[in-house]
Homo-oligomer: A and B are copies of this chain.
Amino acid sequence: MYSFKNDYSEGAHPRILQALVDTNFEQEAGYGEDRFSIKAVELLKEKMARTDVDVHLLVGGTQTNLTAISAFLRPHEAAIAAKSGHIFTHETGAIEATGHKILSIETDDGKITPVSIKKVLDEHTDEHMVKPKLVYISNSTEIGSIYRKKEVKDLSEFCRKNNLLLFMDGARLGSALCSEENDLKLSDFPDLVDAFYIGGTKNGALFGEALVICHESLKEDFRYHIKQKGAMLAKGRLLGIQFVELFRDNLFFDLALHANKMAEILRDLLTKMNFQFVTHSASNQLFPILPNTLIEELQKNYAFLIWEKIDDNDSAIRLVTSWATKEDKVLAFIEDIKKYLP
């Protein structure tokens, strides 16, 4: 059984484990005030060519979303998200549990546009409704699409004009930035969004998301929020060590490139075999539509998610590749499909 279920099936890149082993007996301050965390933050600022951002290292994505969004909003303010957005559907109401409504937008491709935000704003005009205040986007999105620079720029401009915060969930930012179709750089984001994070968990770390707060007004007292939400790791060094390892050279991007390359092979071969996809993806998540009979056969040897029923005979599945995906398994998977095709 080989799994294409997600990008967090294995542990971590061996260099990360080695770094943990090498530093294990150094005594460090707790709660993210250790030398590794400080170094990691420095490295990340360098990569972004910015000294005026705040960087905080947190453990997971839902945790980062809820800590940041609840810190950024006043009680009557709401977030806007795509219906497919992680915070809207797959976080068990984590944002609402901190008191905030999420206003959802229907999308075809998981991406939000100024036009779709405008519609929400037009519907929310007085104190009998929540006040839309923060736009949540994911890059790459939950369905594999990525934002182009022009799109983020337009969102950024629109949000600033309308006094909205722009927040980017970057749980899979590595894959997005390393996509063939990408034209954004890590250093573009501090100019374009008010806060975003760089996902480690789904790109080779044991865990870890680096939250970057760009907007001055959002920085104050942020560590209080981390602590209050149970998100302050006692041994914060673990986060520091991992992000140092990912960013002291090009490891973070190399891992994402590998994941994308594996997806590319799958996509190209599936396309050649004339399979359709639910949506276009140039990142490490693919949603091909396969006959149910084929899916059943494949499930004997491969783990993956059934995404949605398409019709009585076909369903879409989700295939996720990662830094750890083996090329021979990818090729074997395709061969196995061929076997069952006429």
Contacts and interface: CB of A to CB of B under 8 A. Distances in A.
A130 to B, nearest CB: 4
Given A21-B17, A25-B324, A70-B75, A207 B235 contact: yes
A300 interface: no
B90 A101 contact: no
A202 interface: yes
B24 A11 contact: yes
Given A99-B99, A207-B235, A17 B20 contact: yes
Interface stretch (A217-225, A248-256, A260-268): A217-225
Contacts of A28: 9-10
B235 A201 contact: yes
Interface residues of A, number: 78
B17 A227 contact: no
Interface string A70-84: 110011101000000
Contact of A230 (B17, B89, B231): B231
A127 B227 contact: yes
Given A70-B75, A97-B228, A233-B59, A92 B11 contact: no
30 contacts: A5-B30, A8-B30, A9-B28, A10-B28, A20-B206, A21-B21, A25-B324, A27-B303, A59-B59, A60-B234, A62-B230, A67-B230, A71-B74, A75-B225, A75-B228, A76-B221, A89-B129, A90-B129, A91-B230, A93-B99, A93-B101, A94-B228, A94-B230, A96-B100, A96-B130, A97-B228, A127-B221, A127-B224, A127-B227, A131-B221
Q: Which 10 A-B pairs have the closest CB atoms?
A: A63-B230, A76-B224, A11-B24, A93-B101, A92-B228, A127-B223, A93-B130, A9-B27, A96-B101, A92-B227
Given A75-B98, A90-B128, 5 more contacts: A11-B235, A75-B228, A76-B221, A94-B228, A131-B224
